[in-house]
Amino acid sequence: MQATKIIKTGIKIAVVIITLLAGFQSAHSNVAASSPETTTNLLDGITLDSSLSPEDVTYLATTLQLLRDQLPEWAQYVQDSKPFTLIVDTREGDKGREAIANCCDTQGRGTITLGHHLGYSVDANTPEAQQAMFIGTLIHELAHVRDQRAGRASKTSFKSCVTAEKSGLDKQLDVKRAMATLNLGYGYRQALDQQITSEAKALQSRELWDFYCGAFDK
Ligand SMILES: [Zn+2]
């Protein structure tokens, strides 16, 4: 090999190594910038059933991030409700159920079964309405998980069913009212106003309790 060829080859190899190093470094810094350990921490303590799609998991992570950034006290509420499992079972949605909560298994883990994939409630028609609806549902079901875990409000009669459901519905309204105090833009304001008004009204209606607790004798 001639000296010039050796030098050229050497330069080529050096360029390749530098390129590889630069690529590695940028990949490494991308990982550091885009997946802060906080995202992982937010999902810690939540068992994601295989019925959740990758999009569901992303939706959940985004939702928990929104709570952490905008409503830290409600992010803490979720944190304090762990551990729990999330399941999607569209057969429940077909029966008109938004979600069901159960607690607890032998490890103290609650279970929330959602009747639809995340962000696909039939009761919401914009992304903002879906997001508000999902946050409300998550907090509602977590209230049930916490009540059951603490041995409060088990549903054994119409009266105890109403007590248990009221606890979930009150928390659902609380989180939406907290969201409504934020400056999240017109889409959210409109969706939250509508949901808060109709849910607060429903809370006073007999039909609501018949819907939730009609299976029990009055
Ligand atoms: Zn409920």
pLDDT tens for the chain, residues 1 to 218: 555 555 555 545 454 444 444 444 444 444 434 445 566 689 999 999 999 999 999 999 999 999 999 999 999 999 999 999 999 999 999 998 999 999 999 999 999 999 999 999 999 999 999 999 999 999 999 999 999 999 986 778 888 888 889 999 999 999 999 999 999 999 999 999 999 999 999 888 888 888 888 888 77
- d(CA 21, CA 78) in angstroms, rounded, equals 41
Same domain? 123 vs 161: yes
Those residues whose beta carbon sits under 5 angstroms from the ion ligand 1 are 165, 168
Same domain? 75 vs 14: no
Domain for residue 80, yes or no?
A: yes
- d(CA 164, CA 148) in angstroms, rounded, equals 9
Of 111, 70, 105, 107, the C-alpha closest to 89 is 111
Same domain? 52 vs 118: yes
Of 190, 66, 155, the C-alpha closest to 118 is 66
Cα 169 to ligand 1 centroid, rounded to whole Å: 7
Same domain? 65 vs 27: no
Structure tokens at 175: 């989180």
Cα 140 to ligand 1 centroid, rounded to whole Å: 6
Same domain? 115 vs 160: yes
Domain that holds residue 46: 37-213
Cα 115 to ligand 1 centroid, rounded to whole Å: 13
Global confidence as pTM: 0.81
Same domain? 95 vs 190: yes
Cα 141 to ligand 1 centroid, rounded to whole Å: 6
Same domain? 15 vs 89: no
Same domain? 113 vs 136: yes
Cα 65 to ligand 1 centroid, rounded to whole Å: 24
Domain for residue 126, yes or no?
A: yes
Same domain? 24 vs 128: no
Same domain? 120 vs 27: no
Cα 11 to ligand 1 centroid, rounded to whole Å: 68
Domain for residue 218, yes or no?
A: no
What is residue 45's predicted lDDT score, i.e. its pLDDT? Answer: 97
Cα 144 to ligand 1 centroid, rounded to whole Å: 7
Structure tokens at 2: 């001639």
Counting the structural domains of the chain, the total is 2
User: What 3 state SS string does the chain have?
Assistant: CCHHHHHHHHHHHHHHHHHHHHHHHHHHHHHHHHCCHHHHHHHCCEEECCCCCHHHHHHHHHHHHHHHHHCHHHHHHHHHHCCEEEEECHHHHHCCCCEEEECCCCCCCEEEEECCCCCCCCCCCCHHHHHHHHHHHHHHHHHHHHHHHCCCCCCCCHHHHHHHHHHHHHHHHHHHHHHHCCCCCHHHHHHHHHHHHHHHHHHCCHHHHHHHHCCCCC
- d(CA 202, CA 31) in angstroms, rounded, equals 46
Cα 121 to ligand 1 centroid, rounded to whole Å: 16
Cα 209 to ligand 1 centroid, rounded to whole Å: 11
Same domain? 153 vs 205: yes
Q: Please, which contacts does 34-37 make with residues 24 or more away whose CB atoms are closer than 8 Å?
A: none
What is residue 153's predicted lDDT score, i.e. its pLDDT? Answer: 65
Cα 174 to ligand 1 centroid, rounded to whole Å: 14
